[in-house]
Amino acid sequence: MRSLFRTGLVVLVAFALTGAACSDDSSSTTTPGSGDSSGGGGTCSSDLTVGLALDVGGLGDNGFNDLAKAALDKAVADGVICEENTKLIESNSEGTNLDENVQSLADAEYDLIVGTGFAFTADGKINEIAPDYPDINFAIVDGYATACGEAPADCGLVNPASAIPNVVDLNFTEEQGSFLVGVAGALKAQELKCDNLGFLGGQTGFLIGKFEAGFRAGVAEIDPNMTVQVKYIGDTTQAFYNATAGEALSNKMYDDGACIIYHAAGDSGNGLFKAAAAGDKLTIGVDADQYLTVTPDQAPFILTSMIKRVDTAVYDTIQDAADGTFDGGKVQVFDLESEGISYSTSNTKEMTQDIIDQVETYKQQILDGDIVPPTDPTKV
């Protein structure tokens, strides 16, 4: 796997996320040669064309989609691709046109098409579309289209017979990072003399279940008697785009005693941040360092964030396509060891050094194989 560190990527992502969160611009649907990516690249000679299809929630989610867009922008800024050879498409609010977006990019013959979200496997139909376009490379963040079987739970069970040679699934060990922020949350709760935390999930299912399982296991590692309330917003991708429900469920958990809530709910998590700021409670963000991307009045309430380097995964995939080293038919896993998963320490007032030191101890135990965070919340 390509090295995950790119000089300046973290700084660029922080600025890009803040800018996206403040922008109301609609996505562009231009064809190769007209450009729509807001990079700052100078002279560019690459003829690689890249189409980026975003999941429900689109730009301004302070996380998943914004990270993918930041990677595209950096690839332009670095001259890996030319701005005029890129295209970004956002889904509609229901997420019912993911397949249409992928199909339009394929028909336009983009060299690399990236779908940001597991829904691009089934709803986006990349597993069906890709075989018809063998000369186009496809990548799915959190995907399970190739070498994974028929469901997300099968990912990691490589089956070469079912692999799609021009598709790569970019997966993450979310349970590892969630375990670490669970440890941080439990330690902070002890400081607050609180024994009640919360987990706000977006769509029910295997993927967000990994976040829940890891978080609950991390909390239990510190104190098995602590309560972790669990609320999910829904059972469709719309659950990631409902900040109103996110706020209501968060308020319910806070009212029921939670002092800290961790979310894995996409744009719906913005409702959690609103509830936390209003109620003077703590939160734990996800995907990006959300302390750096939320509004100034909300930032003090974000203890830490479970960082999922979607930006790195997308950037590296673009770089591989540009280098001619794109390797499809496989699952690429980004984990703690490769630094594709981590946690943030930006809120120095709340995320104190003593907490960080203890979290680092558990991180090392995971790296050493002494702790294996669970992926199934029913087994915590």
Query: What is the distance between the terminal CA atoms of the chain, rounded to a whole angstrom?
Result: 31
Q: How confident is the model at residue 27 (pLDDT cuts 50, 70, 90)?
A: very low
Using one digit for the tens of pLDDT, what is the confidence trace for 116-130? 988 898 888 998 999
Report pLDDT for 146: 72
Which residues lie closer than 8 Å to 210 by C-beta, 6 or more apart? Answer: 174, 175, 178, 375
Q: Rounded distance, CA 101 to CA 56, Å?
A: 12
The greatest distance separating any two alpha carbons of the chain, rounded to the nearest whole angstrom, comes to 59
Which residues lie closer than 8 Å to 135 by C-beta, 6 or more apart? Answer: 166
Indicate if the pLDDT at residue 108 is higher than 80. yes
Q: Rounded distance, CA 198 to CA 275, Å?
A: 13
Mean per-residue pLDDT over the chain, rounded:
87
Which residues lie closer than 8 Å to 121 by C-beta, 6 or more apart? Answer: 127, 140, 143, 144, 145, 152
Report pLDDT for 3: 44
Q: Beta strand pairing status for 341-343 and 302-308? A: antiparallel
Comparing 48-62, 153-167, 278-292, 339-353, the range with the smallest average pLDDT is 153-167
Indicate if the pLDDT at residue 84 is higher than 70. yes
Q: Beta strand pairing status for 282-287 and 260-264? A: parallel
What number is the average pLDDT over the span 137-153? 75
Compute the half-sphere exposure of residue 317: CA atoms within 13 Å on the CB side of its CA: 36
Q: How confident is the model at residue 95 (pLDDT cuts 50, 70, 90)?
A: confident
CA proximity to 174, closest of 30, 257, 37, 287: 287
Comparing 43-47, 57-61, 90-94, 153-157, the range with the smallest average pLDDT is 153-157
Answer whether 9-172+309-334 and 174-308+348-379 agree in fold.
yes
Using one digit for the tens of pLDDT, what is the confidence trace for 152-202? 555 544 455 567 899 999 999 999 999 999 999 999 999 999 999 999 999
Give the dihedral of Cα atoms 266, 272, 277, 280; nearest 10 deg: -140
* Residue with token string 């950096």: 74
Comparing 21-25, 234-238, 281-285, the range with the smallest average pLDDT is 21-25
Domain covering 174-308+348-379, topology: Rossmann fold (3.40.50)
173: Cα separation from own chain's centroid: 11
Q: Beta strand pairing status for 196-203 and 137-141? A: unpaired
Report pLDDT for 34: 40
CATH number of this structure's domain 9-172+309-334? 3.40.50.2300
Q: Rounded distance, CA 224 to CA 370, Å?
A: 18
Q: How confident is the model at residue 151 (pLDDT cuts 50, 70, 90)?
A: low
Comparing 20-34, 145-159, 245-259, the range with the smallest average pLDDT is 20-34
Contact (CB, 8 A) for 124 and 51: no
Indicate if the pLDDT at residue 70 is higher than 70. yes
Compute the half-sphere exposure of residue 299: CA atoms within 13 Å on the CB side of its CA: 16
Phi/psi zone of residue 306: left (φ > 0), alpha (ψ -120 to 50 degrees), beta? beta
Using one digit for the tens of pLDDT, what is the confidence trace for 273-296? 999 999 999 999 999 999 999 999
What number is the average pLDDT over the span 15-35? 42
Q: Where are the domains of the chain?
A: 9-172+309-334, 174-308+348-379
SS3 89: strand
How does DSSP classify residue 10? H
SS3 string, 206-257, reads HHHHHHHHHHHHHHHHHCCCCEEEEEEEECCHHHHCCHHHHHHHHHHHHHCC
Q: How confident is the model at residue 149 (pLDDT cuts 50, 70, 90)?
A: low
What number is the average pLDDT over the span 97-115? 96
At 183, give phi and psi (nearest 5°). Answer: -60, -50
Q: Rounded distance, CA 80 to CA 66, Å?
A: 19
